[in-house]
Structure 1
Amino acid sequence: MDAEPDPERAEFAAEFDVSRETMAKLYCYANLLADWQQRMNLVGPSTLPLIWNRHFRDSAQLLPIAGTGQRWLDIGAGAGFPGLVLAILDPAAQLTLVESITKKCHFLSCVATETGTNTQIAVANVRIENMASQRFDIITARAAASLDTLFDWGLRFAGPRTRWILPKGARVQEELASAAAHFHFDYQLVASRTDSAANIVVATRVKRR
């Protein structure tokens, strides 16, 4: 990815009030993604030129909802969205990125090292069903599974004040109805900044029926 002026980068920096130093880390991330994408499928190829909006902005929009300094669990971290972006934007955050595919974990660890966020990030190369229980402030996942499945996977990691911040697409109402058949929970919907048809589910007090 070239270093020419990019309106999307400038808009991203302005929208989230990102310093030049932090933008440099995100630019490093973008370059690493482009490089590794040539050898393995990390993101949809058509989305790579749209990285600042489709991936970085889509991830960054979760931070104002959560607030800084949180302990995050990112289920199915994949190429690092949203977890790696959040770590770069919030030096006070601690994130556990759960990813079962080993080569993707190597990528996550490489980006964490190169961007200096490795002290904030734990990469767990394991299926979420097999991960040891612990508590997190925030549970998130991007395109990893349906809402009811995410609740099923994540409940062992949730305490009384845990918030679930989960980006969802146009079928969010169907997912909410399906989840409500198996779980009690409170929620609000926050409109996505990157997709007019999408919302972010912010759920609390999740428990099984």
Structure 2
Amino acid sequence: MTEEAQLPPAPQAAQAVFGERFPEVVRYAELLADAGVKRGLIGPREVPRLWERHLLNCAVLSEAVAEGVTVCDVGSGAGLPGIPLALVRPDLRITLLEPLLRRTTFLQEVVELLGLDHVTVVRGRAEEVLGSLPPVHVVTARAVAPLDRLAGWGVPLLRPYGEMLALKGDTAEEELRGARAALSKLGVVATSVLQVGEGVVDPPSTLVRVEVGESPGGVRFAAKRAKAARAGRPSRGTRRRR
């Protein structure tokens, strides 16, 4: 770890949030600050604020996720928010979906090192795995794309009456207003902006919740997913589970 990228000690809130998995999240933070920087997965300037801005900011997403559901973290990158969510929620079955090999390699190393048996790493883009991955209850994403584009990738992965949870910042309301027409075409039936992590992160994390009806992604995507499933199309790259 370079002198310019020193990881600060974990704040007290991290021990409360991660509980018995606190040692694992410390190890993950160390990996991000070292290998994550060296491999270009995060910038060195992010290391001093890893805890508040990244790890805790993502972990509090769990407040909005129901018990025992399936989750797909789209564009998982270095594992944010998927890995922190997995550490605080062993009841979830989580897929980390990421198209770049160097990132999926890192993710698989983290999953195995931390013993996250309920997490699967899949290499591919959302539109490529449509039909080959089982539809999920929840899609998560952070800093992947503007909401209208993100919804086009994430919503078709949902099962009927599922939801997409996108971590956004101050632009959440504005993005939601600008995306309403696109969301309607995708079969979205309700949207909301939530604040999570009050008392844990300051300011609280902002989520955009997008809920779908009977046909997530719209009729066109439902037909495409069904056709791909009948054809047994494999996903691109590797899919591994411990």
The TM-score range, normalised by the shorter chain, is 0.7 to 0.9
2-side partners of 1:199 and 1:5: how far apart? Answer: 24
Relative contact order higher in (CA < 8 Å, ≥ 6 apart): 2
The AA in structure 1 aligned to 2:129 is M
Q: 2:113 maps to what in 1?
A: 114
Task: Map Cα deviations across residues 31-83 of structure 1 (whole Å, 9 max, x no partner).
Answer: 22122134211123211122111111111111011133221111100010010
1:86 positional shift: 1.1
Pair 1:9-2:11 in alignment: yes
Give every structure 1 segment of 4 or more consecutive aligned residues whose post-TM-superposition deviation is greater than 6 Å: none
Note if contact 1:169-1:197 (Cα within 8 Å) is conserved in structure 2: no
1-side partners of 2:68 and 2:82: how far apart? Answer: 13
RMSD over aligned CA atoms reads 2.3
Note if contact 2:61-2:196 (Cα within 8 Å) is conserved in structure 1: no
2-side partners of 1:105 and 1:173: how far apart? Answer: 32
Match of 1:201 among 189, 208, 214: 208
The change in CA–CA distance for 1:85 and 1:131 in structure 2 (over 3 A counts) is same
Superposition TM-score, scaled by structure 1 size: 0.87
Superposition TM-score, scaled by structure 2 size: 0.76
Where structure 1 has 5 or more consecutive residues not aligned to the other structure, the ranges are: none
Pair 1:80-2:79 in alignment: yes
Where structure 2 has 5 or more consecutive residues not aligned to the other structure, the ranges are: 2-6, 220-242
Q: Please say which structure displays the higher CA radius of gyration.
A: 2
Equivalenced residue count is 202
Deviating more after overlay: 136-145 vs 148-157: 148-157
1-side partners of 2:122 and 2:68: how far apart? Answer: 20
1-side partners of 2:86 and 2:38: how far apart? Answer: 25
Identity fraction in percent: 30
The AA in structure 2 aligned to 1:172 is A
Q: 1:167 maps to what in 2?
A: 167
- Does the residue aligned with 1:43 lie in a helix, a strand or coil? coil
Q: 1:127 maps to what in 2?
A: 125
1-side partners of 2:93 and 2:108: how far apart? Answer: 14
Note if contact 1:28-1:114 (Cα within 8 Å) is conserved in structure 2: no
Q: 2:194 maps to what in 1?
A: 190
Q: 2:231 maps to what in 1?
A: none
- Does the residue aligned with 1:181 lie in a helix, a strand or coil? helix
2-side partners of 1:147 and 1:31: how far apart? Answer: 31
